[in-house]
Structure 1
Amino acid sequence: MIYEGGYSGKGLKIGIVVSRFNDLLTEELLKGALDCFRRHEVEELEVFRVPGAFEIPFVVKELAKKGKYDAILTLGAVVKGETYHFDLVASEVAKGIAQVNLNYETPVVFGVITVEDELQGLNRAGVKSNRGFEYAMATLEMANLRKN
């Protein structure tokens, strides 16, 4: 037997945690995600804004503890600079989100893009394609898979 999640948003409650830092990119990711959820008939959405990507795992943990969401989508953008800050932030955000995914019963989708520069980020957040839409599709699939 094969188990898969579908893409219907009917009856789902989705939480979105989005970083304000690099908002040129994160706002485009959010627009793509909201477009996806609207097209797939998600009626219950709550968006939580945090200062930066590093703060995403804390809020995701708090939301997962409540258990009221069918899935949580994280959206952020970490742009490489001239220091090691990029590596530290990207690594810790990924670890934090993974930890929540394993410790709670709510699927969390990692939608934090890591890019070399803003141009690359713009290509991933809307100019060529919108990863926000793709991450939202994964969120729907995981929410429905968990329900099945």
Structure 2
Amino acid sequence: MAGASHYSPPMPAFEKPVKVLIVVAPYYKDIADDLVAGARGVLDAAGATHELIEVPGALEVPTAIGQAFRMANFDGFVALGCVIRGETTHYDTVCNDSSRALTLLGLQGACIGNGILTVETHEQAAVRADAEGQNKGGGAAAAALHLIALSRRWGAPKRNIGFLPANGEVQLAQGRDGGTQA
């Protein structure tokens, strides 16, 4: 609704460094570039480090984030891209499936800001990617940072698991003859 006011909570502050992966589908390169610039601006202002990767389309964004969530050490993720309605139902599939996949990753614990635009026209996308206006890329980065702050607030401290005691001393089991076994 035009003229409606929007509230954004204050940006969180971090004691420990934050590392974020930006995943962008640059199918509409002009829009993608503006979204990336907005995301980088918010992350830089928060003192977060970030990496950028490109994937072919919006459907590949969640797959790349899922891989990084499982195999890398990022604190959070920013999903960026743009889907513009065409003449077929492919638009619905791409919008629904990319959004659903990102939501499922979030429910598994990934801190994701979703900045994949789903619009009717290029003009609508340009308004939502404008650096002087809404810039949903920056909004997605802010969302990821808020979720990272929540995960750090609610995250349980890591416990020593296995055979290494809290004092760091390694203990080896002894065999029946008194010798140690490794």
* TM-score under structure 1 length normalisation: 0.89
Question: Hey, what does 2:25 align to over in structure 1?
Answer: 19
1:123 aligned partner, one-letter code? V
- State the alpha-carbon separation in 1 of the partners of residues 78 and 67 from structure 2: 14
Question: Hey, what does 1:110 align to over in structure 2?
Answer: 114
Identity over aligned residues, as a percent?
Answer: 27
Question: Hey, what does 2:124 align to over in structure 1?
Answer: 120
Contact 1:5 1:145 in 2 (8 A): no
Structure 2 residue matching 1:112: 3-state secondary structure: strand
The yes-or-no answer on 1:61 pairing with 2:66 is yes
2:148 aligned partner, one-letter code? A
2:30 aligned partner, one-letter code? L
Structure 2 residue matching 1:53: 3-state secondary structure: coil
Residue of 79, 83, 86 corresponding to 1:74? 79
Q: Runs of 5+ in structure 1 lacking a partner?
A: none
Q: Point out the structure with the larger strand share.
A: 1
Residue of 141, 145, 159 corresponding to 1:136? 141
Contact 2:113 2:142 in 1 (8 A): no
- State the alpha-carbon separation in 2 of the partners of residues 27 and 19 from structure 1: 10
- State the alpha-carbon separation in 1 of the partners of residues 146 and 105 from structure 2: 18
2:98 aligned partner, one-letter code? V
> Over residues 39-71 of structure 1, what are the superposed CA-to-partner deviations in whole Å (9 max), with x where a residue is unaligned?
1211x2111110110111110110110251111
Residue of 97, 104, 114 corresponding to 1:99? 104
Q: In structure 2, do the counterparts of structure 1 residues 6 and 144 end up closer, same or farther at CA, with 3 Å as the change threshold?
A: farther
Aligned residues: 143
- State the alpha-carbon separation in 1 of the partners of residues 10 and 45 from structure 2: 17
Structure 2 residue matching 1:47: 3-state secondary structure: strand
Q: Point out the structure with the larger helix share.
A: 1
- State the alpha-carbon separation in 2 of the partners of residues 134 and 41 from structure 1: 16
- State the alpha-carbon separation in 2 of the partners of residues 94 and 54 from structure 1: 9
1:86 Cα offset (Å): 0.7
Which of 1 and 2 has higher RCO (CA within 8 Å, sep 6+)? 1
- State the alpha-carbon separation in 2 of the partners of residues 143 and 123 from structure 1: 28
